[in-house]
Amino acid sequence: MPASPRLSGAPLRRLAQFARTSVGGVALQRILRAELRIDALAGLPESARGDVPLDMRPVAGRAPRGGSGEELPAPPRPWSETTSSYVERYREGSLTPRQAVEKALEEARRLARLSPSVGPLCDYADAGALEAADRATERWKQGKPIGPLDGVPYAVKEQTAVKGMPRRGGTAFLDPSPQPEDATCVSRLWEAGAIVIGMTPMTEFGMTPNGANSKRAMPRNPHATDHIAGGSSTGSGVAVATGLVPFAIGADGGGSIRIPSALNGVFGIKPTWGRVSRYGDISTGSVAHVGPLAGSVLDLARSLELMSGHDPRDTQTWLAPPREAGSFVRGVGRGVRGMVIGVEEGEWAAASEPVQRAGREALAALEREGAKLVPVTLDLARHAPAIGYVTIACEARAALRASWREHWQEMGDDLVVSFSSLDAFGAVEYLETQRLRAGLRRELARAFERIDLLAMPSVVAPAAAVSERDMSTGFLDTTVIDGLCRFAFLCNLTGLPALSAPVGCDIFGLPLGLQLIGDAWDEATVFAAAAHLERIGAASARRPRVTARD
């Protein structure tokens, strides 16, 4: 069956109208089921299935690994400001938090005025950010910073609550009133002194990974503005890639942190399920995680360190075992000597040549540094996207029942097409899919009994080209969607930590990503490998064509 063509503008609108009919919804689901390989799930053997999961507790192969005993220096500083460079400049007096925040807000607006837009913010926190920056400036004058990130600017995806800011989730109809309190991850970063400069735009309800949303002025890829920036944490990826902020908060239900990280050439991690509280975030269901994107591994580890921990308002965080404070940051210096990295050749074969080449070169570099590459076989891995599509679609459709009933006419046409096709899924099929998910969790745990990391591509291909019409009306392209999500759902379904590292560019200068997957609760080993790639120059957040001015 040939792939469906990309649709935007009037053709997409007509398809959305057809989708709202009883015949249209069923017909479209049949097409999507075939193109996204959902139909193939029914033919998998009984041995591939487990019991329906009763909880989302990640299944570990073994206990978190220790290091080799090495204590290596931090990787070199990237081209842009880092949390460390901000703090150093504050300490020496060459920059104040007030100046840093003013500059970031000014540059965010300049990037938004470009044509096409590369603006990474949809809502600006001028008053609150500048007031916080003044307090931080005074503390630095007195030599009394309140935490390791005092005065450092960052941005937050618009689905995560920031007190005094709207939380609109990429929509045109969610209540834009200021949030009454911060999400837990935001409040913890405030305690460390970090300052929110604004909210970053996302695709509508996070239901597409392509970075287009007719309800927002979405930013283009700063490496090539005629290409997508990915999503759904689109603005967070662009905010980091342009050097506007050293890190940003995103959320990942099917790759929504790792996809924009890979396409924009930055680092991003989906942590272990339950590592970061979702309190104050609109994410629901069993696959969505909150996590950071950053311009360096050290900033990624540092921000996750501060965001993590048990939260009485999110019972899923109670699953996390005790962790020694500072272990993520210390993992950055562990190196890879003796580390065993699994390579699933069947998965690598599904990636494009540029992605394969860059990823394999990075792995070869780790091998020369003392890591050991071993083959692994994961029979269910190629079915993870289909399992993920059914899971996230059914859970989102149920969670957004009232929004779909009352506001469907205010949704983008691409989301109308997607939601219209979801009613054809039944409860039995959803539960059957969860049994396959249990089999996938079991398969990954067995693999991690003998490996420390699993290496896979982040996405199938570099960022796809996009037209002005595609961006203004939204677009539907199952080939692009599947290429972006192909390697992502494996870790959303299992809850394992997964990091995307920028390991080069194609001949057109578009970034390429390598995904490093760790065992449950073992982010430190993931950081160790990613940081060593950065240390030896095999991974780096490269300066794009469009940046925030120095």
Structure tokens at 296: 């360096």
Whether residue 232 has a cis bond before it, omega within 30° of 0: yes
The active-site residue out of 232, 261, 277, 458 is 232
Pairing of the two strands 247-252 and 289-294: antiparallel
How many separate helices (H) and strands (E) can be counted in the chain? 20, 13
* Residue 310 CB partners (closer than 8 Å, separation 6+): 317, 318, 320
Can 8 be counted among the known catalytic residues?
Answer: no
Can 141 be counted among the known catalytic residues?
Answer: no
Minimal CA–CA distance to 18: which of 29, 3, 33, 4? 29
Can 68 be counted among the known catalytic residues?
Answer: no
The active-site residue out of 103, 157, 215, 270 is 157
* Half-sphere exposure (Cβ direction) of 265: Cα atoms closer than 13 Å: 28
Q: Please give the backbone phi and psi of residue 48, each rounded to the nearest 5 degrees, phi first.
A: -80, -10
Minimal CA–CA distance to 456: which of 464, 465, 447? 447
E strands within 417-474? Answer: 453-457
* Half-sphere exposure (Cβ direction) of 97: Cα atoms closer than 13 Å: 28
Say how many residues make up the chain. 550
Q: Is the dihedral of CA 541, 544, 548, 550 positive or negative?
A: positive
Minimal CA–CA distance to 221: which of 201, 235, 200? 235
How many other C-beta atoms lie within 10 A of the C-beta of residue 106? 12
The active-site residue out of 84, 256, 418, 420 is 256
Pairing of the two strands 475-476 and 340-343: unpaired
Residue positions annotated with a catalytic role: 157, 232, 256
